[in-house]
Structure 1
Amino acid sequence: MSTFVPIIDLTPWFHGDADGRAAVAREVDVALRASGFLVITGHGVPTALRADIRAAAKRFFALPADVKARYAATVGGRGWLPPGVEANGYAEGTETPPDLKESFAVGADAPTGDAAIDAVWFLANVFPEEAPELRALLVEYLGVMRALGDELLRVCAAALDLPSGFFTAKTAHPSYTLNLNWYPPISVTGTPEPGQFRIGPHTDFGTVTILDREPGTGGLQVWGEQDGWVDAPFVPDSFTINIGDLLARWTGERWKSNRHRVLPPDATAPDEELMSLIFFYETDPSAVIESLPAPLGTVAHPPVVAADYLGEKLAAITVS
């Protein structure tokens, strides 16, 4: 078992007694302080749902570019993000080449009634006519992921001995995004440029990221202060979890929003194509996030409005 990115079974949290739940919470606290990452099993999300999404999404990504372009969107929007529009390394101030991926994004679409908020954070989802089964699958998955996201925030509250609803009090009407990331094989992308990745080094921006990934040569790595880039462990039927900048800030930097990257396609695996399902959970856009004071927190950040903070982060990774 990896100690840097530990594997944590959530079965005692969902089905155990108070001692079992407390033990899970302690493990989560240790993981988020050490690396900001963990792998969870026992989460209860059906494997078949994720497999069906992948199969339908692959049919979409295999379409000609001019067909996919009917659903083209910009970073933070809803629809197809073509190659070349995103460079996550920009978030660190590094002028990297664009990321070697395509994405299809859906997310929270129930309007709040605030036109300014809704126009940015609750856009209408679009679904490709050429893969009609995606609509029902993605709507179901969004509901399942939101429920899991809230449950993970309750685990986080328990890990800090806070009231169960401490974090979810600010997710009454949250924004969130699901990216279906397709990482084409090197036979499609061509040889990567120097410093080019499937996803460049970055930290995530929101509260909790729930990643369903496939193993591969060009896979996920997490940054370690002592060991440098470390391959994230892969466990079948698991989710890789990490926290984003907003939750790290919320905890006064007790927990780490850690750098990670997805390696470029490798010539030793010329046919490797991977697909990740990445759910980015945030908060209510109007939520004011204040750092937890000592002794839990160690850094007293100024309060921020979630929408303002996240908007600046998304703008930073958009290739103009």
Structure 2
Amino acid sequence: MGHVPVIDIGPWWSGSDADRAAVVAAVDDALSSVGFMLVSGHGVPKDVAAQVRSQARAFFALPEELKRAYAVTIAGRGWLPPGVEANAYSEGTQTPPDMKETFAVGADEKTGDPAVDGYWFPDNVWPHEVAELQAVVEDYLARMRVLADELLRICGSALGHEDLFTQHTGHATHTLNLNWYPPLAHVGEVAEGQFRIGPHTDFGTVTILDREPGAGGLQVWTEQDGWEDAPWDPEALTINTGDLLERWSGGRWRSNRHRVLPPQQAHPDEDLVSLVYFYEADHDTVVTPLEPPVGRVSGLEPVVSGEFIKERLDAITVG
């Protein structure tokens, strides 16, 4: 799948002006063409994600009766059990629930408005049964926030204004989903049309994904060939554009469809843990789409970031 490139963004920090410009051009091209890229040179040590993944596995291995104490639904902080989410609903497709469990954390710095804080900045919940989870996840969250802003600065530079987007992320909403995709032996028979995560686009500005390769792994939609396995590089993070950034860019960048395949009969013991960081903007940011020639589509209406995201979160909630 050669049109999902691997881009070394290391020169963005330490290269010459020409090297930085080359990074900007490569990112602009990737987001314009397929909306996905693999990024190396991101500065996040591999052992940081490995520690998060290890602690996440410890949580998911707990008996269900213990995990149940932390159960929430979409947009909550804690354990999202099987059956509460179906991402394909966002496309208007009725499918069985996604075959995964999630532990969700995110932004918790208060605004002082109880209604806003209750939805967008609630307190994170930390299971006492996995005492080390909080420290490693908080470290990972902080690193992802820095990287997400840097990616948006690269995007802004592609449009001639480095802080075009980050001037609206001082108190951004963001969520980290620790996703466990259980093995076939754990979940039982796969229903028709069921996936670990059904076909969808992401909702925010950029998504940063640290994933494990597998037979029941990530696929990306391409106009030329339909669904194809996403490439994987152990040194790289997978980055994709979300719906909000697609709209903000006036359709210049694509928020592309993707899905995670169900567990495969040929690999009944495969289980995977993905670390999925969703970055957005300040909840009250009025996102005014860029007009041509910078954008690609004229006449798109402005949206408010929080309202735009919440509408999509509500759409994938089961029940």
Q: TM-score range by the shorter chain?
A: over 0.9
- Paired with 2:193 and 2:163, the residues of 1 have a C-alpha distance of 42
Aligned to 2:271: 273
Aligned to 1:222: 220
Residues paired across the two proteins, number = 318
Deviations along 1:206-256, one digit per CA (max 9) or x if unpaired, are 000000000000010000111000111000021000010000000000110
* Counterpart residue identity of residue 230, structure 1: E
* Counterpart residue identity of residue 266, structure 1: Q
Deviations along 1:69-107, one digit per CA (max 9) or x if unpaired, are 110111011000000100000000000000000000000
| Partner-residue secondary structure (3-state), 1:309 | helix
Aligned to 1:78: 77
- Paired with 1:128 and 1:244, the residues of 2 have a C-alpha distance of 30
1:117 equivalenced with 2:128 (yes/no): no
- Paired with 1:120 and 1:30, the residues of 2 have a C-alpha distance of 35
1:151-300 residue pairs with structure 2 within 5 A? 151-160=150-159, 162-299=160-297, 300=299
- Paired with 2:130 and 2:14, the residues of 1 have a C-alpha distance of 37
* Counterpart residue identity of residue 207, structure 1: T
* Alignment RMSD (CA, Å): 0.7
Q: Which runs of 5+ in 2 are unaligned?
A: none
* Counterpart residue identity of residue 275, structure 2: L
- Paired with 1:266 and 1:147, the residues of 2 have a C-alpha distance of 36
- Paired with 1:185 and 1:3, the residues of 2 have a C-alpha distance of 29
* Counterpart residue identity of residue 243, structure 2: D
* Counterpart residue identity of residue 187, structure 1: A
Aligned to 1:41: 40
- Paired with 1:187 and 1:37, the residues of 2 have a C-alpha distance of 32
| Partner-residue secondary structure (3-state), 1:177 | strand
- Paired with 2:45 and 2:74, the residues of 1 have a C-alpha distance of 29
- Paired with 2:301 and 2:205, the residues of 1 have a C-alpha distance of 17
1:5 equivalenced with 2:8 (yes/no): no
* Counterpart residue identity of residue 154, structure 1: R
- Paired with 2:285 and 2:117, the residues of 1 have a C-alpha distance of 15
Aligned to 2:87: 88
* Counterpart residue identity of residue 226, structure 1: Q
CA apart distance, 1:298: 2.0
TM-score, normalised via structure 2 length:
0.99
* Counterpart residue identity of residue 105, structure 1: A
- Paired with 2:2 and 2:191, the residues of 1 have a C-alpha distance of 33
- Paired with 1:297 and 1:163, the residues of 2 have a C-alpha distance of 14
Report the identity percentage.
58
- Paired with 2:171 and 2:210, the residues of 1 have a C-alpha distance of 24
* Over 2 Å off, 4+ runs: none
* Counterpart residue identity of residue 196, structure 2: R
